[in-house]
Amino acid sequence: MACREVASEVVLIDIKEGLSEGKMLDMYQCSTLMDFDTKVVGATNDYKTTANSDVVVITSGIPRKPGMTREELIGTNAGIMKGVIENVIKYSPRAIIIVVANPMDTLTYLALKASGLPKNRIIGMGGALDSARFKCYLAKATGANINNVDGMVIGGHGDTTMIPLVSKATVNGVPVSQFASKKKLEEAVANTMVGGATLTKLIGTSAWYAPGAGAAMMVEAILNDQKKMVPCCCYLDGEYGQKDICIGVPAIIGRKGIEKIVKIDLTKEEAEKFAASAEAVRKTNNILHEIKAL
């Protein structure tokens, strides 16, 4: 966000003493080298420094370790999310909130219910990241320039719940099926679905760069009122045949947050996968009640 100068000020807050201050000092020292002049501030557990934020990005929680699923994080991260939400609302009552923490769909749902904010102001980031990973693997499969590749991932932000939409994927408007075999495209889908787990295994913790860029893109779409269509985690109230759930679908993102949920035609197989994905997300949501987070 600082490098792209999407905001006049970026505040980083963490509970670990000195971490945010150190990160932000490091960033500030590279500002002349990277040619940006965004004001950057770091603070240890002091939400007053975030007061009157337009957008808040929540990454709080323990990260995944190798072999760990996003769903296994829920007990610890649900408690952290409730505490963070309380402080965010206290100091920035008009903020639009982007949830990155995992399990993302369930924590987005928790953030919505715990905050009492309208559904347009709570957005989960998963689909933006998953779609970027899908485009990466499509570019590898087709040999195309990655910036000519378009693809979308909907459904839950989980290794078994996300749905990369091959039927909608293109290279500069031309279906990817004209550039890659069915087998290669199936491999691209499979690699996308374990994209996060692959990185966790390789580097020993959750990914950094692509999730950060995904969040920055969404913040920019909000602050600049770009009306950009982004696959992201939204609260559904009848759309796609689902109610009372936060799950990934394409939406128009602008100054009001989620401004419109976009209904796209799914194949029968895609629709069935989406229903199954929603059911899996609901099961994880039910744990919130079991642990009395809701």
Q: What is the dihedral of CA 48, 52, 54, 55, to 10 degrees?
A: 20
Give 24-82 pLDDT, tens digit per residue. 999 999 999 999 999 999 999 999 999 999 999 999 988 777 777 767 778 889 999 99
Q: Is 191 flagged in the annotation as binding?
A: no
Residue 69, pLDDT score: 73
Q: In a 3-state reduction of DSSP, which class is residue 234?
A: strand
271 pLDDT above the threshold of 80: yes
Across the range 239-264, mean pLDDT stands at 98
* Domains present along the chain, CATH in parentheses: 2-125 (3.40.50.720), 127-291 (3.90.110.10)
Question: Is the omega angle on the peptide bond into residue 103 within 30 degrees of 0, that is, cis?
Answer: yes
Lowest mean pLDDT across 74-83, 94-103, 109-118, 160-169: 74-83
Strand partners, 187: none
Task: Give catalytic residues, as residue numbers.
Answer: 157
Q: Is 87 flagged in the annotation as binding?
A: no
Residue 70, pLDDT score: 65
Residue 149, pLDDT score: 98
Across the range 127-144, mean pLDDT stands at 98
Q: Is 102 flagged in the annotation as binding?
A: yes
Across the range 194-204, mean pLDDT stands at 93
Residue 174, pLDDT score: 98
134 pLDDT above the threshold of 70: yes
Residues in CB range of 95: below 8 A, 6 or more apart: 53, 54, 55, 56, 88, 89, 121
Q: What is the mean pLDDT of the chain?
A: 95
Nearest CA to 232 out of 196, 193, 258, 194 is that of: 258
